[in-house]
Amino acid sequence: MRMWSKLITAAATAALLSIGTATAGASAAHAAAKPTAPKPAAAAQAAGPQRADGNHRPVIFIHGFNRTGAGRDCVGYWGDTIPEFKDRGYTTRTWGFYGGDHNCSAVFKGTKNTSVKMLGREFAQYVYKNFSKPGRAVDVVGHSMGGLIVRAALTGTANREPGFPPYLYIEDAVTIATPHAGTKWALGCATTQCKDMRPRSTLLKWLQYVPQSRMGTDWTLVGSADDKIVPMSSSIYGMKLAPHLVWFPKAGGKLGHDKIQTVGYGGWRSYLWNEGDRRNRNDYGTWGHLTGPNPGRIAQNGSFFHHKY
Is residue 157 a part of any domain in this protein? Answer: yes
The boundaries of the domain holding residue 292 are 53-304
The predicted pLDDT at position 9 comes to 36
Is residue 289 a part of any domain in this protein? Answer: yes
Instruction: Tell me the pLDDT of the chain (309 aa) as tens digits.
Output: 333 333 333 333 333 334 443 333 433 333 334 544 444 444 444 468 999 999 999 999 999 999 988 899 999 999 999 999 999 999 999 999 999 999 999 999 999 999 999 999 999 999 999 999 999 999 999 999 999 999 999 999 999 999 999 999 999 999 999 999 999 999 999 999 999 999 999 999 999 999 999 999 999 999 999 999 999 999 999 999 999 999 999 999 999 999 999 999 889 999 999 998 889 999 999 999 999 999 999 999 999 997 777
The predicted pLDDT at position 47 comes to 62
The predicted pLDDT at position 123 comes to 99
Give the global pTM: 0.86
Is residue 204 a part of any domain in this protein? Answer: yes
Helix, strand, coil percent values for the chain (each to nearest 5): 25, 20, 55
Is residue 27 a part of any domain in this protein? Answer: no
* CATH number of 177's domain: 3.40.50.1820
The predicted pLDDT at position 34 comes to 53
Is residue 24 a part of any domain in this protein? Answer: no
CA dihedral (176, 124, 194, 105) positive or negative:
positive
Is residue 93 a part of any domain in this protein? Answer: yes
* Number of independent structural domains in the chain: 1
The predicted pLDDT at position 217 comes to 97
Closest CA to 153 of 136, 138, 170, 137: 170
Cα–Cα distance for residue pair 302/85, rounded to 1 Å: 12
Is residue 46 a part of any domain in this protein? Answer: no
Q: Side chain identity at 142, as an amino acid letter?
A: G
Is residue 225 a part of any domain in this protein? Answer: yes
